[in-house]
């Protein structure tokens, strides 16, 4: 049960076609994304969930460039990073320049320039630049796709302790195309990344522990990993952990706690969480029975691809007034799904 969810960044699972784990295991970017600058006269928008932050660059001028980038002052970031790269041969500054060119921030988007800066930084041992080069090769940016080169860059960065690279390399071992399929090696890489706090790796390793692939089957360890990833707001992990909590698998059974997690996941747009919440509300297990809310979440889940014939039958037993109220309440969720697909 792997809910599909939109993500700003590419997922390696989608790029390589790996289907054995979540279809939404998101790649972290080289740099934490800057918050959008509010327009004059408007209240600040709530900060979006940020990808895993990169290690803080060293040196006061690089800190200045990075801070400007985070605040959205891209021209300042570009100027300071350029000076630092030119005068101090600073790899972190070079990586930041690559990021600015890659995303067209403060300068025109230019993949060739981005890759040149990433290569200069990677040659000087910057693991974030290595990661960026790997993604360029997977996404065929500034040249043809080259899975072998991407895998080498991931491996180089992983050796330097770059958790997202270790996680992505693990996905390649699961897929079994670039390398012979090796669940044990994948688990080792996931463990390395999970210990560094990478929530996608925690989720992936938990899945392997639940199924006993590459590691001993251990639902308690799976629940522990999912709990850690849930605390860090990984949506896929939250849904799986809620299911285990509801069923008492690897953790004490607690339907009320599971219902609260499903509600959180449903509000974040997970069709699986919406479906499970609808069933809970239809039966009154872990949460007070509420037929209208149950149908609302069923309709939202169905729009997101999580259909349920049991709930279709349940909906048919409601009054016309209840169905109308549920359809009205579900409309914003359904419209949001349609907007994402358009």
For the chain, give every domain's residue range.
7-32+61-181, 193-253, 256-342
- Given a cut of 90, whether residue 52 has pLDDT beyond it is no
**Looking at residues 111-119, what average pLDDT do you find?**
98
Cα Rg of the chain (Å, integer): 22
What pLDDT is stored for residue 63 in this prediction? 83
Q: How confident is the model at residue 318 (pLDDT cuts 50, 70, 90)?
A: very high
Give percent of the chain above pLDDT 90. 80
- Given a cut of 70, whether residue 259 has pLDDT beyond it is yes
Contact between 134 and 154 under an 8 Å Cβ cutoff? The reply is: yes
Q: Which residue has the higher pLDDT, 197 or 42?
A: 197
Q: Is the fold of 7-32+61-181 the same as that of 193-253? A: yes
Q: In this structure, how many other beta carbons lie within 10 angstroms of the beta carbon of residue 80?
A: 23
Alpha-carbon distances of 145 from 138, 166, 170, rounded to whole Å: 5, 20, 19
Q: How confident is the model at residue 338 (pLDDT cuts 50, 70, 90)?
A: very high
Tokens 């349940």 correspond to what residue?
A: 314
Half-sphere exposure for 29 (CA within 13 Å, toward CB):
18
CATH architecture label of 193-253: Alpha Horseshoe (1.25)
**Looking at residues 206-215, what average pLDDT do you find?**
97
- Given a cut of 50, whether residue 46 has pLDDT beyond it is no
* pLDDT, mean over the chain: 86
Considering only CA atoms, which of 270, 325, 267, 275 is closest in space to residue 297? 275
Q: How confident is the model at residue 342 (pLDDT cuts 50, 70, 90)?
A: confident
**Looking at residues 185-192, what average pLDDT do you find?**
98
Helix axes 163-175, 127-138, angle to 10 degrees: 30
Q: Specify the CATH class of 7-32+61-181 in words.
A: mainly alpha
Distance CA(114)–CA(133), nearest Å, equals 9
Least confident of 55-64, 180-189, 239-248: 55-64
| pTM check: above 0.85 | no
**Looking at residues 35-43, what average pLDDT do you find?**
30
Distance CA(226)–CA(168), nearest Å, equals 18
Q: How confident is the model at residue 60 (pLDDT cuts 50, 70, 90)?
A: low
What pLDDT is stored for residue 242 in this prediction? 98
Tokens 């014939």 correspond to what residue?
A: 309
């Amino acid at each position: 049960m792997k809910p599909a969810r939109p993500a700003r960044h590419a997922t390696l699972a989608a790029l390589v076609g790996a289907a054995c784990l979540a279809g939404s295991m998101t790649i972290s970017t080289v740099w934490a994304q800057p918050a959008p600058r509010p327009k004059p006269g408007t209240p600040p928008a709530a900060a979006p969930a940020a990808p895993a932050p990169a290690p803080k660059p060293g040196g006061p001028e690089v800190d200045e460039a990075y801070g400007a980038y985070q605040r959205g002052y891209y021209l300042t970031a570009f100027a300071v990073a350029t000076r630092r790269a030119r005068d101090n041969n600073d790899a972190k500054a070079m990586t930041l320049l690559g990021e600015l060119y890659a995303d067209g921030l403060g300068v025109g988007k230019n993949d060739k320039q981005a890759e040149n800066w990433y290569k200069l930084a990677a040659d000087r041992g910057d693991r974030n630049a290595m990661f960026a080069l790997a993604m360029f090769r997977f996404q065929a940016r500034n040249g043809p796709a080259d899975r072998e080169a991407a895998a080498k860059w991931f491996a180089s960065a992983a050796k330097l302790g770059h958790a997202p690279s270790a996680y992505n390399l693990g996905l390649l071992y699961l897929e079994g195309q670039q390398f012979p399929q090796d669940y044990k090696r994948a688990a080792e890489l996931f463990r390395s990344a999970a210990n560094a706090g990478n929530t996608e790796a925690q989720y992936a390793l938990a899945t392997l522990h639940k199924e006993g692939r590459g590691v001993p089957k251990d639902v308690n360890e799976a629940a522990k990993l999912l709990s850690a990833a849930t605390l860090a707001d990984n949506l896929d992990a939250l849904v799986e952990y809620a299911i285990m909590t509801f069923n008492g698998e690897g953790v004490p059974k607690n339907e009320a706690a599971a219902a609260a997690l499903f509600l959180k996941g449903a509000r974040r747009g997970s069709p699986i969480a919406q479906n499970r919440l609808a069933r809970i509300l239809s039966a009154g297990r872990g949460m007070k029975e509420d037929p209208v809310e149950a149908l609302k979440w069923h309709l939202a889940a169905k729009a997101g691809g999580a259909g349920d014939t049991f709930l279709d039958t349940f909906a048919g037993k409601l009054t016309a007034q209840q169905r109308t109220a549920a359809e009205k309440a579900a409309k914003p969720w359904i419209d949001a799904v349609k907007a994402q697909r358009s």
